[in-house]
Amino acid sequence: MIRSRLLQTVAFILLARHQLPAATPTIAEAQAFMNRAEAELAKLNVVDQRAQWIHETYITDDSECLAAEQDEKYIARTTELVTEGRKFETLNLPPDLKRKFRLLRLSLAMPAPHDPKLREELTQIASGLGSAYSKGKYCPDGDKKSGDKEKCYGIDDLDERLAKSRDPKQAAEMWAGWHKVGAPIKSQYARFVELSNQGARELGFADTGALWRSNYDMTPEQFSADLERLWAQLDPLYKELHAYVRRKLVAKYGPAADRKDGMIPAHLLGNMWAQEWGNVYDIVAPPAAPQAYDIGQILQQRKTTPKQVVQYGEDFFHSLGLQSLPGTFWQRSLLTRPADRDVVCHASSWDIDNDQDVRLKLCIHGTTDDFTTVHHELGHTYYYLAYRKQPYLFKGGANDGFHEAIGDAIALSITPEYLKKIGLIQQVPPPAADIPLLLRTAMNKIAFLPFGLMIDKWRWEVFSGQVKPDGYNKAWWTLREQYQGVAPPVDRSEADFDPGAKYHIPSNTPYARYFIAGIVQFQFYRAMCRAAGYSGPLNRCSVYGSKAAGDKLEAMLELGQSKPWPEALKRMTGEDRIDASAMVEYFQPLLTWLKEQNKGQKIGWTVAANPLLAQR
């Protein structure tokens, strides 16, 4: 053993003395490295996914630790492979292999430091942030005093109660009660940002936000500019919708809704984050509108089970020629909240084994939103199934916005004609119902867009250091006022951490994908309608039963992430640029109507100097 070490030392000295250059890596070595890396990461990913599934469906201290441990292993090995793979960066690699190296470098939404202790700290904080959110409860004061824990409400229950509440005081109490969930995790989140940024810098990025923005086949600067370009196309439509809804809320609630600055109090829009407004459609519905149907009410009257709700979604995809869901999907999915344990009820679709072990996790109550959400989540599921034969690093959406858009594009086909075909309604509403239906859709689709944009704009400012921890909440509300025109119902301060009351912040889920999806889904939808031979008003199209539309869809889905997203988009739509023209076309009749309704009304709002003060 001693002699062997001596020989090694002598050899090292001789090499150093002669300064022999390291052997130049070859393309064959790069390919062999990538083959090993993909095989190893695929195995680690399966174990990690199983650990995360258990943690989210059985929240305990033990499952939290196990999930964090597996996250740490996956992140650690990915980081090591990225570092090891850098020696191949100077080679003139074949396009597919070059793309794999790029995707490997961009694969971590939560980049971690090389230091094992810091990496472990990061993954433990991340797991703890997710658990803190999932365990969050709002307990009305009276229930706290009585100690009756059964009258405390998690976010899914609060969502349902806030959607139905028409009492401004009660809504404000629920809003403020839930938003307390963020304050305890503010310092943890600040530390999370520090550690994640360190990991991003070690991978060669300025910060975590820059890493995220690099994942769209363009520079971070180009991506940011592109999002603003898209928003400029839709901002006029949003402002008309905002003005109309504001006037209706003031008519309903009086001083509780009427603000001098023209903003809408966030708690009056039927959603905890004011990100979608469909739950208050009854307040804003045109007075002469034909009787509307309520899918949720129909499902509840028919005593539709959660499984049957999901089967409606499966039937739609199957009608396009896509496969039936695997048997294990029905055995392993979680479709209702268990009575005996905490779970993460936030709806999500899971690809456990990179093959056919796909699952849904959501708590179905039988509402209209549930019906739409099922179609959205199954869009992810069918994307997983379509690209499962791709190499590991190509198993992903062309970009993450595409992944979010597929199911939403299908959900746009939930038209009256479709509902009649599947027997949920007996009569199709007359053409006079088009404006009410478009308004109801806009209350979710259009209302969401500025929220979808500002979430990551806030995070990018946080990651870059432009916003410090002592300004987290002010920056959050500055952006919400600027883009959404909504204000908090009660005064806020930096003692609060309102971003932490939104799932995607503690879970570290990039959010620009949802903004992109909100727009590109209409491009997908229009392309499928054209493939189906439809030529009428875009808002009346349903591609249900069209194999031609299904062929268009699957041709894009099966590419996964193997090609830059403009190529995938062109394969389906003939267009290689995300554009809002399809969305504008869809809502054009509504825009014309809104402008008529808003004549003489103030359009827009005034942004405050101090957004934390709700009452002015």
Mean pLDDT of the chain: 91
349 backbone dihedrals φ, ψ, rounded to 5°: -110, 140
Q: Is 504 a catalytic site residue? A: yes
Round to whole Å and give the CA distance between 552 and 556: 7
- The runs of H, that is alpha helices, within 504-611 are 512-531, 547-557, 565-573, 581-597
What is each CA distance from 278 to 394, 444, 528, in whole angstroms?
A: 36, 5, 26
Its pTM surpasses 0.85: yes
Residue 187 has pLDDT above 50, yes or no: yes
- Per-residue model confidence (pLDDT) at position 197: 97
Q: What is the pLDDT of residues 292-328, one digit of tens each?
A: 778 989 999 999 999 999 999 999 999 999 999 999 9
Other CB atoms within 10 A of residue 251 CB: 12
Residue 577 has pLDDT above 90, yes or no: yes
Other CB atoms within 10 A of residue 536 CB: 8
One-letter identity of residue 266? A
Residue 183 has pLDDT above 80, yes or no: yes
Mean pLDDT of 252-256: 97
Mean pLDDT of 473-494: 97
- What's the token pair of residue 386? 């379509």
Mean pLDDT of 517-538: 96
Q: What is the pLDDT of residues 107-147, one digit of tens each?
A: 888 999 999 999 999 999 998 998 899 889 999 875 444 44
- Per-residue model confidence (pLDDT) at position 134: 84
Residues facing residue 486 across a β-bridge: 264
Mean pLDDT of 22-36: 92
- What's the token pair of residue 483? 């883009």
SS3 486: strand
Residue with tokens 């403020």: 176
Catalytic residue among 55, 242, 346, 504: 504
Mean pLDDT of 205-217: 95
Other CB atoms within 10 A of residue 489 CB: 22
Residue 2 has pLDDT above 60, yes or no: no
Instruction: List CB contacts of 39: < 8 A, sequence separation 6 or more.
Output: 392
Closest CA to 86 of 19, 31, 30: 30
SS3 610: coil
Dihedral through CA 121, CA 124, CA 129, CA 135, nearest 10? -150
Residue 19 has pLDDT above 50, yes or no: no
- Per-residue model confidence (pLDDT) at position 344: 86
Long-range contact set of residues 297-305: C-beta below 8 Å, sequence gap at least 24: 298/424, 298/425, 299/366, 299/367, 299/370, 299/371, 299/424, 300/366, 304/366
- The percentage of the chain sitting over the pLDDT mark of 90, rounded to a whole number, equals 82
Q: Comparing 160 with 549, which gets the higher pLDDT?
A: 549
Residue 15 has pLDDT above 50, yes or no: no
- Per-residue model confidence (pLDDT) at position 614: 64
CB 289 within 8 Å of CB 433: yes
> b/e per residue, 330-367, with b = 16+ CB within 10 A?
eebbbbebeeeebbbbbbbbbbbebebbbbbbbbbbbb
pLDDT bracket for residue 66 (50, 70, 90): very high
Residue 555 has pLDDT above 50, yes or no: yes
What is each CA distance from 590 to 286, 446, 543, 601, in whole angstroms?
A: 12, 11, 22, 17
pLDDT bracket for residue 430 (50, 70, 90): confident
SS3 334: strand
Catalytic residue among 56, 377, 461, 554: 377
User: Do the strands 486-487 and 264-265 form a parallel or antiparallel pair, or are they unpaired?
Assistant: parallel
Mean pLDDT of 472-479: 97
Residue 148 has pLDDT above 70, yes or no: no
- Per-residue model confidence (pLDDT) at position 367: 84
Round to whole Å and give the CA distance between 525 and 344: 31
CB 103 within 8 Å of CB 397: no
End-to-end CA distance of the chain: 80
What is each CA distance from 348 to 178, 359, 373, 381, 478, in whole angstroms?
A: 21, 9, 9, 10, 30
- The runs of H, that is alpha helices, within 135-213 are 141-146, 155-164, 168-179, 186-202, 208-213
pLDDT bracket for residue 150 (50, 70, 90): low
Residue 374 has pLDDT above 80, yes or no: yes
Other CB atoms within 10 A of residue 322 CB: 19
- What's the token pair of residue 24? 């130049």
Question: Which range, of 170-184, 341-355, 481-495, averages the lowest pLDDT?
Answer: 341-355
